[in-house]
Copies of this chain bind each other. A is one copy, B any other.
Amino acid sequence: MDLQASERGRELRDAVAAMVRDRIAPLDAEYHAETGTGGDRWRHGPRQSEILETLKAEARDRGLWNLWQTHLDGGPGINTVDYAWIAEEMGKSWLAPEVFNCNAPDTGNMEVFARYGTPEMQDRWLKPLMAGEIRSAYLMTEPSVASSDATNIRLECRRDGDHWILNGEKWWATGAGDPRCAVHIVLARTDPDGPRHQSHSMLVVPTAAPGIEILRGMQVFGDYEAPHGHMHIRYTDVRVPADAMLLGEGRGFEIAQGRLGPGRIHHCMRAIGMAEKALTLAVERGHARQAFGRELLELGGNAERVAEARMMIDAARLSTLRAAAEMDAAHHETGDMKRAAPAISQAKVLVPRVAQEVCDMAIQLHGGMGVSQDTELARLYGHIRTLRLVDGPDAVHLRTVYRAEMKARGLR
């Protein structure tokens, strides 16, 4: 369980860190400033496109492209532990993940296409995704059911000759607001009466298909996170050919599980970077400001709060790295990562919790400025807060940890 990055991993991390710090982060504010309002929200302004495409080209040139391919042929030759260290750096800028073609949900979707896609799909969707030419969305959560229990998912998918017809609503489809979003991967219920875990299937749906309607963007604490967004979408008699179904009828959860493991840990990795950024802001502010004749950090419990933040961020990072190491080991030994699920769930609960606390502490140290537009803290907070919900809420992951504990003891 080596939690250190490999030499290759360290080089890549340093290169990513440098590019984030010197090239990407300085453009974050300018990029966001051009985001429109109303319907314009979902377009890239000319400067946004320019910033993004220039940086993407630069990342590709530097060999920092598609680093997420930890266990795929033709990948960068690093493992999940390496990627954890790299992704942490990407978490320190809003733009960075996409600049490196490492943003959710595209990484997860690319992995799905690579593993389960037909050659045609790989040609049509995977290739341009890998090239950063199109974007994709993943449609799972639904507004009318508690999606924490995925068996509740009920977007209807019925057979009609050589086609599947899809009807229903999805929301929180991240990235679906982006005009470059060309394809959806959709979890749908194919058999309303089937066994609990074999009634759902995964389908590939072009966004150009008739019957797809984007109802609105979902806000995260008032923020549309445009232009990519988290969209609320309605499917009305959306028709796709039979071979649009991945892996086969009733095998939706099988794909979802394989997809979500890495996705969850990627979120954790980036969240560590966010927590580090919040801590940096807290320390800098607390050091620069004076009250009652002393610097803020030396007042009351503030120094202890900084130490607690450092201690808990480090523990959270170790938890993430350990999950990554277990994923690597599981991959090498069994070909899949199921075995690592409890470790992933631990990190998935611990990291956002720690990041949320650190962010809240940083806000408090900033006074009113902390909740305002003058720091990234409020936006960071909103984003981190959603991590306790996406890809399974805390309660579901604690249940996974509990079950594994009982099973390890032979009590279940």
Write the residues of chain A forming the contact surface with B, with a CB cutoff of 8 angstroms. Answer: 1-4, 37-38, 141, 143, 145-149, 152, 171-172, 218-223, 230, 280, 283, 287, 289-292, 296-297, 299-308, 310-311, 314-316, 318-319, 322, 343, 346, 349-350, 363-364, 367-374, 378-379, 381-382, 385-386, 388-390, 393-395, 398-402, 404-406, 409, 411
Contact = CB atoms under 8 A, between A and B. Distances in A.
A327 B377 CA distance: 35
A2 B171 CA distance: 42
Nearest to A1: B4
B220 A372 contact: yes
Given A148-B291, A369-B143, A382-B371, A364 B389 contact: yes
Query: Which residue among A2, A311, A367, A374 has the maximum number of chain B CB atoms within 10 Å of its CB?
Result: A311
Contacts of A389: 364, 367-368, 370-371
Contact of A322 (B149, B318, B401): B318
B367 A307 contact: no
B402 A303 contact: yes
A220 B378 CA distance: 8
23 contacts: A1-B3, A1-B4, A148-B291, A149-B290, A149-B291, A149-B292, A218-B368, A218-B372, A221-B221, A221-B222, A221-B371, A222-B373, A280-B409, A287-B411, A300-B303, A301-B301, A303-B402, A304-B402, A306-B405, A311-B350, A318-B319, A364-B393, A371-B385
Contacts of A363: 385
Query: Which residue among A171, A315, A322, A343 has the maximum number of chain B CB atoms within 10 Å of its CB?
Result: A315
Contact of A373 (B145, B219, B303, B369): B219
Given A315-B350, A363-B385, A399 B291 contact: no
A388 B370 CA distance: 11
Given A301-B304, A315-B318, A368 B386 contact: yes
A149 B289 CA distance: 11
A303 to B, nearest CB: 5
B221 A304 contact: no
Contacts of A379: 222
A263 B128 CA distance: 57
B372 A219 contact: yes
B149 A300 contact: no
Q: Which 6 A-B pairs have the closest CB atoms?
A: A301-B301, A149-B291, A318-B318, A307-B401, A222-B222, A307-B398
A300 B290 contact: no
Contacts of A3: 1-3, 322
B315 A304 contact: no
A256 B404 CA distance: 40
Query: Which residue among A301, A369, A370, A374 has the maximum number of chain B CB atoms within 10 Å of its CB?
Result: A301
A299 B299 CA distance: 9
Contact of A307 (B223, B302, B304, B399): B399
A332 to B, nearest CB: 14
Contacts of A152: 290-291
Given A300-B303, A311-B349, 13 more contacts: A37-B37, A146-B296, A147-B367, A172-B368, A221-B382, A222-B378, A222-B382, A230-B368, A300-B398, A311-B319, A314-B319, A318-B318, A371-B385
A277 to B, nearest CB: 13
A254 to B, nearest CB: 19
Nearest to A152: B291
Contacts of A301: 300-301, 304-305, 395
Query: Which residue among A304, A322, A363, A379 has the maximum number of chain B CB atoms within 10 Å of its CB?
Result: A304
A304 B368 contact: no
Contacts of A346: 310-311, 314-315
A392 B228 CA distance: 38
Query: Which residue among A146, A149, A290, A306 has the maximum number of chain B CB atoms within 10 Å of its CB?
Result: A146
